Amino acid sequence: MTQLNLSGRVAAITGGASGIGKAIAQSFAAAGAQVRIVDVDGPAAARTADEITSAGGNALAFQCDVTDGPDVESVFSRIASHNSIDVLVNCAGIAQIGTIADTETADFERVFCVNVKGTFLCMKAVLPGMINQGRGSIVNMASIAATAGLSKRFAYSMSKGAVLAMTLSVAKDFIDKNIRCNCISPARVHTPFVDGFLHASYPGREKEMFAELSHAQPIGRMATPEEVAVLALYLSSDSANFLTGANIPFDGGFTYLRN
């Protein structure tokens, strides 16, 4: 049986300084990957890389604004200057609360630029190298919002729907190049972002609202970043060589088991 092993592989992870991205970076490093953490927060990326190297892993940090084309090109060129990039995980993303009626154009464009344009630019940056070496794996972070109607998530849902569509398109266009492209669609994941959102939106009611959000998943809780990381590791490994063009609902039963 093939093990979940990334020894000798170079893996670039956007949004890798915190939350789900950080858990993925740690998981990949533990599986032997040379992890390249790409994040707009340079100091946080450096801290995560230091934690990984202190634990015996291989990690480097790169500050990058994924919405800036020249910046993305420069950073990914630097990453690939010594070793080709074998795996890309697009984890950088932001959220937006609101219906279409109260979503301002600036909010819409901000979400689009990070979640959609950023994913596009990073995939475009790694594809030539993957084509040249004859293999590659791309994992995009979508969301249940891509396929389910969620209240007050207009711009966010738009962006994640686009991520899903881009995933399918890239998987189709490059299947003959031995490049796989899949996406993960989590339900709620307990990250520092969730805690910050609850503190800002429901001061004094954080515990109550955390329980309510947790039970929106039929399984009765939120996922952990580490659980998402295991799935990303599988999708990036040779164990998943037959899997491409997949959207995996990692959602505690939300998609199919809701009453």
Residues designated catalytic? 156
Rounded CA separation 123/55 (Å): 29
| Whether 130 contacts 113, CB under 8 Å | no
Q: Any residues with CB less than 8 A from the CB of 220 and at least 6 apart, and which?
A: 214, 252
The tally of CA atoms less than 13 A away on the side-chain side of residue 173 is 10
Q: Any residues with CB less than 8 A from the CB of 193 and at least 6 apart, and which?
A: 19, 95
Task: Tell me the DSSP string of 39-52.
Answer: ES-HHHHHHHHHHH
CA distances from 59 to 55, 121, 152, 189, 246 (A): 10, 22, 38, 24, 28
From start to end of 7-49, where are the E strands? 10-14, 34-39
Q: Left if phi > 0, otherwise alpha if psi is -120 to 50, otherwise beta: which for 7?
A: beta
